[in-house]
Amino acid sequence: MGLISGNNNKKLLSKIATNDGHGENSSYFDGWKAYENDPFHVTQNPNGVIQMGLAENQLCFDLIQEWIANHPKASICTYEGAQDFKDIAIFQDYHGLPEFRKAVSRFMEKVRGDRVTFDPERIVMSGGATGAHETLAFCLADPGDAFLVPTPYYPGFDRDLRWRTGVQLFPVVCESCNNFKVTKEALEDAYEKAQESKIKVKGLLINNPSNPLGTILDKETLKDILRFINDKNIHLVCDEIYAATAFSHPSPFISIAEVIKEEVIGFNKDLVHIVYSLSKDLGFPGFRVGIIYSYNDVVVSIARKMSSFGLVSTQTQRLIASMLSDTTFVEKFIAESSMRLSQRHGLFTKGLAQVGITTLKSNAGLFFWMDLRRLLKESTFDDELDLWHVIINEVKLNVSPGCSFHCSEPGWFRVCFANMDDETMGVALRRIRHFVLQANKGVLEVASKKLCRRRSKLEISLSFRRLDDHFMMNSPHSPMSSPMVQART
Ligand SMILES: Cc1ncc(COP(=O)(O)O)c(C=O)c1O
């Protein structure tokens, strides 16, 4: 069988198949490829690339494994569970098992501190949050219509909401000067700009807690958002898949469900839809358990019919129903997971702060937003990508550049911290600290020689094979002490 050329494919296949709308041609995914070509391993490949571009929650698998080992019947394909095999193998309809919907809605309540209730009848299954977003886009908008979305935002939204539906995303530009807050002004501005471009706005998509920022929306902002969508009569999709990753106590995470409870007069609940999944809070992205929770009866009914395209297997439903009905386990898991995330986040961000690397203040998520603006030669996205190439190829860390999140300001990078063990984290931290210290040295050398106003790409390219980790970890030098560096902020 011969290969078909690119051009011929364009004629033979559909527009969707050939329009690159999957978005995998971005630096976000290029970083993953760099990791796959040379993956770090503590003993087998200690100079390889460390994957810090993957928002996975791997810090509590010991708890999950213990539960699985103690409940062999729940997995069904085990000696203890085998007698139930027929039940999971035969036909399932798209409603989902009642015990699964009940357990998931209870879990959603627990994660939100039991301050709200969720009706199991409104739980619709989907193939992860990915499937939930696409299903909602199909339900709420027509091709060409747009959703507003605050920047920076998760790059997968470009694929999930747009690719197969033909729906557009229109940026609500948020800036570092106010910690990327979603303001009324920014929302109005985006809405007006879309109108001027003759784009019909059908909704606003928010992600709370935010990927990539790791920040949480406060109650006032959530109220402003509700008023905004109510005034404009557009939908609100709230992606809350990082709800349980919040790690300040008492949990500061406020679900849109809580605000709706209070916002009664003249407010149209039919406009609000929550996207949830077990990929981040439980750390089960492989299970593909996604949820649409809509306050709109018609959307619940249509989304349920559409869910035929992305059902959760009955075996998974049975296991999840059993695990999440174990209240003692759930409470312990939520508390422990948030504590471990907090510790990891603190270790990493404090370690970076010691060498003058600042990060956006955050208290949720599996990542933080690192500010390397001072290391850019010019404040451009080209320079951001130059710096990113050095970080991938020389420092051997796959962090993700801000441009892949549609950030409006160059120089920000997302760093994931929960997808690795402590040892790997130590190596990653040493590498990045060393890099910044060396980059800072480059600045000073250039400054003293007065050769050039700016550094060349080569000057921040380092040889990490000669790295003395112990020295670097304990180095008293900090780039913040450099006047050249300070001048760049
Ligand atoms: C904000 C956000 N929404 C949705 C997804 C997709 O999640 P899932 O694995 O449940 O499809 C991700 C994954 O990283 C995400 O960060």
Tens digit of each residue's pLDDT (9 = 90 or more) over 414-451: 999 999 999 999 999 999 999 988 887 765 443 334 33
Per residue in 18-44, pLDDT tens? 888 887 777 767 778 888 999 999 999
Structure tokens at 416: 């994931």
- Nearest-atom number in ligand 1 for the CA of 132 is 11
With a 6 Å cutoff on the Cβ, whether 239 touches ligand 1 is yes
Q: Has residue 250 got a pLDDT over 70? A: no
User: What pLDDT is stored for residue 217 in this prediction?
Assistant: 96
Per residue in 51-86, pLDDT tens? 999 999 999 999 999 999 999 998 988 999 888 888
Rounded to whole angstroms, how far apart are CA atoms 135 and 160? Answer: 9
With a 6 Å cutoff on the Cβ, whether 55 touches ligand 1 is yes
Catalogue the active-site residues: 154, 239, 241, 280
Q: Taking a C-beta distance cutoff of 8 angstroms, is the pair 348, 425 a contact?
A: yes
Distance of CA 209 to the CA centre of its chain: 9
End-to-end CA, the chain: 58
With a 6 Å cutoff on the Cβ, whether 290 touches ligand 1 is yes
With a 6 Å cutoff on the Cβ, whether 210 touches ligand 1 is no
Give me ligand 1 centre to Cα 364, in Å: 15
With a 6 Å cutoff on the Cβ, whether 150 touches ligand 1 is no
User: What pLDDT is stored for residue 488 in this prediction?
Assistant: 31
Instruction: Take atom 2 of ligand 1 and give the residue whose Cα is closest.
Output: 154
With a 6 Å cutoff on the Cβ, whether 241 touches ligand 1 is yes
Residues of the chain above pLDDT 90, percent: 73
User: What pLDDT is stored for residue 345 in this prediction?
Assistant: 96
Per-residue pLDDT, averaged over 400-423, amounts to 95
Instruction: Take atom 4 of ligand 1 and give the residue whose Cα is closest.
Output: 129
Q: Has residue 1 got a pLDDT over 80? A: no
Rounded to whole angstroms, how far apart are CA atoms 36 and 155? Answer: 19
Per residue in 172-217, pLDDT tens? 999 999 999 999 999 999 999 999 999 999 999 999 999 999 999 9
Q: Has residue 472 got a pLDDT over 60? A: no
- Ranked by mean pLDDT, the top range of 416-420, 458-462, 485-489 is 416-420
Give me ligand 1 centre to Cα 419, in Å: 15
- At CA 484, angle to CA 479 and CA 486, rounded to 5? 65
Show the DSSP H helices in 112-183 as ranges. 128-140, 156-157
- Nearest-atom number in ligand 1 for the CA of 277 is 10
Per residue in 315-339, pLDDT tens? 999 999 999 999 999 999 999 999 9
Structure tokens at 372: 């390397």
- Nearest-atom number in ligand 1 for the CA of 289 is 10
Pick the range with the lowest mean pLDDT from 27-41, 101-115, 375-389, 404-418: 27-41
Per-residue pLDDT, averaged over 127-136, amounts to 97
Q: Has residue 460 got a pLDDT over 80? A: no
Q: Has residue 362 got a pLDDT over 60? A: yes
Write the CB contacts of 68 (distance below 8 Å, at least 6 apart in sequence): 74, 75
For residues 473 and 107, the model is more confident at 107
Q: Has residue 465 got a pLDDT over 50? A: no
User: What pLDDT is stored for residue 251 in this prediction?
Assistant: 56
Q: For the chain, percent helix, then strand, then coil, each to nearest 5?
A: 50, 10, 35
- At CA 49, angle to CA 414 and CA 399, rounded to 5? 5
pLDDT band at 482 (very low <50, low <70, confident <90, very high): very low
b/e for 84-115, b at 16 or more Cβ within 10 A? beeebeeebeeebbebbbbbbbbbbbbbbbee
Q: Has residue 457 got a pLDDT over 70? A: no
For residues 340 and 471, the model is more confident at 340
Whether this prediction's pTM lies above 0.95 is answered by no
Going by C-alpha positions, the residue among 392, 416, 412 that lies closest to residue 403 is 412
With a 6 Å cutoff on the Cβ, whether 135 touches ligand 1 is no
- Nearest-atom number in ligand 1 for the CA of 127 is 11
User: What pLDDT is stored for residue 462 in this prediction?
Assistant: 40
With a 6 Å cutoff on the Cβ, whether 207 touches ligand 1 is yes
Q: Has residue 15 got a pLDDT over 80? A: yes
pLDDT band at 378 (very low <50, low <70, confident <90, very high): very high
What is Dmax (Cα atoms) for the chain?
78
User: What pLDDT is stored for residue 466 in this prediction?
Assistant: 32
Dihedral of alpha carbons 247, 107, 293, 166, sign: positive
Pick the range with the lowest mean pLDDT from 11-25, 164-178, 291-305: 11-25
The residue whose two tokens read 């905004």 is 228
Give me ligand 1 centre to Cα 413, in Å: 18
Instruction: Take atom 7 of ligand 1 and give the residue whose Cα is closest.
Output: 129
Strand order in the sheet with 400-401: 358-359, 367-371, 412-416, 400-401
User: What pLDDT is stored for residue 109 in this prediction?
Assistant: 96
Q: Has residue 481 got a pLDDT over 70? A: no
